[in-house]
Amino acid sequence: MPHTLKPHVLKQVMNRYLEHSTYIDWQHPSISALAKQLRASANNELAIAKSCFEFVRDEIHQSADYKVDTITCKASDVLAHTTGYCYAKSHLLAALLRANGIAAGLCYQRLSVQGDGAPYCLHGLNAVYLQNCGWYRIDPRGNKSGVNAQFSPPHEQLAFTTCNKLEADLQGIWPSPLPVVTDVLERYSTYTDVLNNLPDIALFTTTSAQPLPQ
Nearest one of 100, 103, 127, 129 to 37, comparing CA atoms? 100
- The domains located in the chain, with CATH, are 7-208 (3.10.620)
Strands 61-62 and 83-84, bridge-based pairing = parallel
136/154 Cα distance (integer angstroms)? 7
Query: How are strands ordered across the β-sheet holding 168-169?
Result: 134-138, 120-130, 104-112, 168-169
Query: With contact defined as beta carbons under 8 Å apart, do 142 and 60 qualify?
Result: yes
| Secondary structure, 3-state, the chain | CCCCCCHHHHHHHHHHHHCCCCCCCCCCHHHHHHHHHHHHCCCCHHHHHHHHHHHHHHHCEEHHHHCCCCCCCCHHHHHHHCEECHHHHHHHHHHHHHHCCCCEEEEEEEEECCCCCCCEEEEEEEEEEECCCEEEEECCCCCECCECCEEECCEEECCCCCCCCCCEECCCCECCCCHHHHHHHHHCCCHHHHHCCCCCCCHHHHHHCCCCCC
Question: How far, rounded to the nearest angstrom, does the alpha carbon of residue 67 sit from its chain's CA centroid?
Answer: 20
Q: How far is CA 175 from CA 17, 91, 137, in A?
A: 5, 10, 14
Nearest one of 61, 65, 76 to 22, comparing CA atoms? 76
Which residues lie across from 111 on neighbouring strands? 121
Nearest one of 37, 141, 127, 40 to 89, comparing CA atoms? 141
Digit-coded pLDDT (tens) for 42-90: 999 999 999 999 999 999 999 999 999 999 999 999 999 999 999 999 9
Backbone phi, then psi, for 161, in 5-degree steps? -120, 155
138/157 Cα distance (integer angstroms)? 7
Task: Output the pLDDT for position 206.
Answer: 46
pLDDT tens for the chain, 214 residues: list them.
344 545 665 678 899 999 999 999 999 999 999 999 999 989 999 999 999 999 999 999 999 999 999 999 999 999 999 999 999 999 999 999 999 999 999 999 999 998 888 999 999 999 999 998 999 999 999 999 999 999 999 999 999 999 888 999 999 999 999 999 999 999 999 999 999 999 999 886 543 444 444 4
Question: How far, rounded to the nearest angstrom, does the alpha carbon of residue 196 sit from its chain's CA centroid?
Answer: 21
